[in-house]
Amino acid sequence: MSFPKNFLWGGATAANQCEGAWDQDGKGDSICDHNRAGSRTSNTHRTFDLEIDTEHYYYPSHTAIDSYHHYKEDIALFAEMGFKVYRMSIAWSRIFPNGDETAPNEAGLQFYDDVFDELAKYGIEPLVTISHFEMPFHLGKKYDGFLDKRTIGFYENYATTLFERYKNKVKYWLTFNEINFGTMEHGKRISGLFNRDYTETEQYQALHNVFLASARAVIAGHKINPDFQIGCMLAYITMYPKTCRPEDVLKTQQINEKFNFFCGDVQVKGKYPYFMKRYFEKNNIQVNITDEDQAILQAGTVDYYTFSYYMTTCITDDLEKRDDKTGGNLFGGVSNEYLETSDWGWQIDPVGLRYTLNQIYSRYEVPLMVVENGLGAFDEVETDGSINDDYRIDYFKRHIIEMEKAIDDGVDLIGYTPWGCIDLISAGTGEMSKRYGFIYVDRDDEGNGSLARSRKKSFYWYKQVIESNGETL
Ligand code: BGP
């Protein structure tokens, strides 16, 4: 039992949470640039301002950890850990500042050329998320994001521009980050709908258009370079029935289908699952899905499946038993007395990762990658500058052991990129103090700090994990 020889060990980030330089070298404002921080530890989402008002402090994406200017230093540290792969995203509005132009911004393209060249120096394979929770603000404002079919074309044009430009530098691509948040209120982050309340029909229509954009990008990408591996990316929140009461089991199945299975089915199998068609009918949701759309979905299926895994949750159909104690309660979930939680209430479940890998693989049988996993925690810097994050080491150790067991179960798991391998801004709260990294960044929630990078204890630990291909934990 061991990890395959070419296993892709690495780490993951996203442009809007680390780059900063939000308005430099021709970059347009993205929807994230209009966000301000939410509140500490509360999991509240960031507030959104239509106009960027310079009176206010838009620290989160505007300056972030300034990796736009520190990428060489950061990549050198990733290389020191032995990364084989680095998952990053491209900021759409660096390439197309408004989103609907025909000609790209050369300075934006050049920036990512430089990043890829730097990675290549160390033999690190880039894994690129084409859209990670952001789109040019102008597309949101003028077109209502993906609710307008024209946005599909803008996305396809953007993706094609990347494929053409980087066809010899990037092999692994992901079309949309955590696409299944499009089934929830958070869909705003995926679809760009943010400006007003929208109906369920609009939400699912926008998501449908996101599916089409993804499929069209897959089709275009494979034409440009048949060796491209283009994948989907879902937020997988595994659900257990709270009890073995059949009603709880049934409820779990229903919620699980809609959140965890629906989007994967469309992107891997190329068609809408029966349960969603039924859901639309029963709830009078009128999504316009043409025959041509169905052909595109079928032709644009992904090559591999990736997901984020942070927590599991329990489901009950008994409303009175629902509580508010876990971050996994997005679905009216309830806590699991067998699990501990992070400081943000996320239920930590390493064994659940083995279960999840098997659940996904048995459904799709395509290669899998865990492209986000990790522990958001408050780190403390000792007087000698060291950061002894044993809790993080313990978290990763337990998850890696279960991944190895899943591989032994027969799952084709090809890579692992822990989230926020360098401390960055939290997507949920917009703050810095929820840290995930092996690398510490000196910056606080108010934006103070030198931005200096330093190695946490987990940095040295992860280095030896990679060196030994998962043998030394
Ligand atoms: C995922 C996102 C990431 C990331 C992570 C951790 O949902 O893809 O962008 O931030 O969650 O969440 P948070 O930053 O809220 O701790």
ipTM for the complex shown: 0.98
pLDDT at residue 40 in the model? 45
Q: What is the mean pLDDT of residues 305-318?
A: 93
pLDDT single digits (tens) 220-238: 999 999 999 999 999 999 9
Q: Which of 160, 148, 23 is nearest to 93 (CA)?
A: 23
**Calpha distance 210→394 (Å, rounded):** 37
- Band (pLDDT 50/70/90 cuts) for residue 192 is confident
Ligand 1: residue of 16, 348, 426 to mutate (most ligand atoms within 8 A of CB) is 426
Q: Which of 144, 133, 132 is nearest to 46 (CA)?
A: 133
DSSP conformation letters of 157-215: HHHHHHHHHTTTT--EEEEETTGGGGGSTTHHHHH---SS---HHHHHHHHHHHHHHHH
pLDDT at residue 60 in the model? 76
pLDDT at residue 57 in the model? 54
pLDDT single digits (tens) 128-137: 999 999 999 9
Higher pLDDT, 195 or 179: 179
pLDDT at residue 37 in the model? 62
Q: Which of 347, 470, 334 is nearest to 413 (CA)?
A: 470
Say if residues 105 and 26 touch (Cβ distance below 8 Å): yes
| Single pTM value for the model | 0.95
- What type of residue sits at position 134? E
Q: Which of 178, 202, 402, 431 is catalytic?
A: 178
437 lines ligand 1 (CB under 6 A): no
Q: Answer whether residue 329 shows pLDDT above 50.
A: no
Q: Answer whether residue 327 shows pLDDT above 70.
A: no
Average pLDDT, the chain: 92
pLDDT at residue 152 in the model? 98
Residue ID of nearest Cα to ligand 1 atom 4: 427
Q: Answer whether residue 46 shows pLDDT above 70.
A: no
**Calpha distance 473→457 (Å, rounded):** 13
Q: What is the CATH number of domain 8-467?
A: 3.20.20.80
Q: Is residue 178 annotated as part of the catalytic site, yes or no?
A: yes
pLDDT at residue 196 in the model? 73
Return the biggest CA–CA distance within the chain.
65
Residue ID of nearest Cα to ligand 1 atom 15: 428
**Calpha distance 322→255 (Å, rounded):** 15
411 lines ligand 1 (CB under 6 A): no
Q: What is the mean pLDDT of residues 112-120?
A: 98
Sign of CA dihedral 46, 68, 161, 102: positive
Helix 150-165 vs helix 106-121: angle between axes, to the nearest 10 degrees?
50
- Band (pLDDT 50/70/90 cuts) for residue 429 is confident
Distance of CA 173 from the midpoint of ligand 1 (Å): 19
Q: Answer whether residue 43 shows pLDDT above 50.
A: no
Distance of CA 247 from the midpoint of ligand 1 (Å): 32
Cα→Cα distances 424→45, 177, 468, Å: 16, 17, 27
Residue ID of nearest Cα to ligand 1 atom 3: 427
pLDDT at residue 361 in the model? 98
- What type of residue sits at position 149? K
Q: Answer whether residue 45 shows pLDDT above 90.
A: no
Residues in the chain: 473
pLDDT at residue 124 in the model? 98
Q: What is the mean pLDDT of residues 106-123?
A: 98
* Site of tokens 């709260």: 429
296 lines ligand 1 (CB under 6 A): no
Higher pLDDT, 313 or 428: 313
pLDDT at residue 324 in the model? 47
pLDDT at residue 288 in the model? 97
180 lines ligand 1 (CB under 6 A): no
Distance of CA 373 from the midpoint of ligand 1 (Å): 9
Burial of 244 per CB tally in 10 Å (0-12, 13-18, 19+): exposed
- Band (pLDDT 50/70/90 cuts) for residue 29 is very high
**Calpha distance 411→28 (Å, rounded):** 42
235 lines ligand 1 (CB under 6 A): yes
How do 312-315 and 238-241 pair as beta strands?
parallel
Q: Is residue 156 annotated as part of the catalytic site, yes or no?
A: no
Q: What is the mean pLDDT of residues 32-51?
A: 63
Residue ID of nearest Cα to ligand 1 atom 16: 426
Specify the long-range contacts of residues 349-353, CB closer than 8 Å, at least 24 apart. 349/238, 349/311, 349/312, 350/395, 350/398, 350/399, 350/401, 350/402, 351/402, 352/238, 352/309, 352/312, 353/309, 353/399, 353/402, 353/403, 353/406
Q: Answer whether residue 326 shows pLDDT above 90.
A: no
Distance of CA 210 from the midpoint of ligand 1 (Å): 20
Distance of CA 246 from the midpoint of ligand 1 (Å): 33
Ligand 1: atom nearest CA of 43 is: 15
pLDDT at residue 165 in the model? 98
